[in-house]
């Protein structure tokens, strides 16, 4: 009788730890809801693959790029992904599988019977994967520092989308264009065409007689919102306009998101009656 292959997704590359690490990172970075983690171990070789269960019971195999029991890249990668995954689920267990099933993970050619077997066996007790996490030595850096540096598009004001799409090509240009666009929008709404930068935003938002304001806010909150515009321009825009680009993508993204908040606040403001 012909074996029935399991309808399952395979990620990573057997024996290549970095690619398997990146596969786990990409799943989390994409917002996948990881409900359960099965560590699939071959005792003879100390090799590990992962079977992840996501939302709607979708299952994903991360191929066998991990190992334990010695000091090397594969055990370090194993420690990294375990440290990462335990932030997202409490359901992490290890299962001993035959070498033949592990090889079918690598091919990839898992069968329905293979999955049934994995689901029928008992997890390793006492739980020993906790010992592996301590191989992750780089505790001074956040484990999330290896995630891709990208702009969260879903949070952006629609008027910044076009700039964000080309952000990675020239972050400095995108940021300066965002500053200029914000000034143009505020000038058009207020008629303060002869003002720019800090003076423009001070006249537009600050004081009891400002042209723009936020309705139904107490005085302190309104003052705080208004001061954000002038503070950001003094702290970031003016320096950027007179310095060479720093080429620090993480700083650039943070600054772009800060400008985005100014766009959001501007959109919520109204002309003072």
Report helix, strand or coil for 29: helix
The answer on pLDDT for 138 being more than 70 is: no
Instruction: Quickly tell me which residue has 């990462």 as its tokens.
Output: 84
pTM of the model: 0.85
Average pLDDT over residues 149-165: 97
Rounded CA-CA distance 264/104 in Å is: 51
Contact criterion met (CB below 8 Å) for 256 and 167: yes
Rounded CA-CA distance 40/124 in Å is: 10
The pLDDT value given to residue 211: 96
Q: Phi and psi dihedrals of 65, rounded to 5?
A: -100, 10
Structural domains of the chain, with CATH: 9-146 (3.40.1530.10), 153-271 (no CATH)
Q: How confident is the model at residue 240 (pLDDT cuts 50, 70, 90)?
A: confident
Residue 250: exposed, middle, or buried by beta-carbon count in 10 A (0-12, 13-18, 19+)?
A: exposed
pLDDT in tens, 165-186: 999 999 999 999 999 999 999 9
pLDDT in tens, 242-254: 887 777 999 999 9
Least trusted range by pLDDT, from 135-139, 236-240, 257-261, 263-267:
135-139
- Find the helix or strand (DSSP H, E) in which 21 lies: helix 17-29
């Amino acid at each position: 009788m012909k074996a029935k292959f399991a309808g399952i997704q395979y990620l990573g590359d057997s024996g290549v730890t970095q690619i398997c690490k990146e596969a786990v990172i990409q799943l989390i970075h994409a917002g996948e809801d990881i409900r359960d983690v099965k560590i699939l171990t071959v005792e003879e070789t100390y090799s590990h693959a992962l079977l992840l269960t996501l939302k709607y019971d979708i299952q994903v195999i991360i191929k066998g790029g991990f190992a334990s029991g010695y000091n090397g890249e594969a055990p370090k990668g194993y420690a990294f992904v375990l440290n990462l995954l335990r932030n997202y689920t409490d359901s992490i267990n290890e299962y001993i599988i035959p070498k033949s099933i592990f090889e079918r993970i690598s091919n990839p050619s898992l069968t329905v019977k293979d999955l049934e077997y994995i689901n029928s066996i008992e997890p390793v007790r006492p739980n020993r994967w906790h010992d592996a996490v301590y191989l992750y030595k780089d505790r001074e850096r956040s484990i999330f520092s290896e995630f891709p540096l990208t702009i969260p598009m879903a949070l952006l004001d629609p008027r910044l989308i076009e700039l964000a799409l080309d952000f990675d090509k020239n972050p400095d240009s995108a940021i300066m264009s965002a500053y200029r666009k914000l000034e143009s929008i505020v000038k058009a709404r207020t008629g303060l065409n002869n003002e720019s930068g800090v003076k423009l935003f001070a006249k537009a938002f600050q004081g009891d007689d400002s042209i723009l304001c936020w309705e139904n806010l107490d005085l302190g909150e309104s003052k705080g919102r208004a001061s954000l515009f002038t503070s950001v321009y003094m702290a970031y825009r003016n320096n950027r306009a007179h310095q060479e680009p720093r080429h620090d993508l993480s700083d650039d993204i943070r600054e772009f998101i800060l400008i985005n908040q100014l766009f959001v606040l501007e959109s919520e403001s109204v002309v003072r009656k």
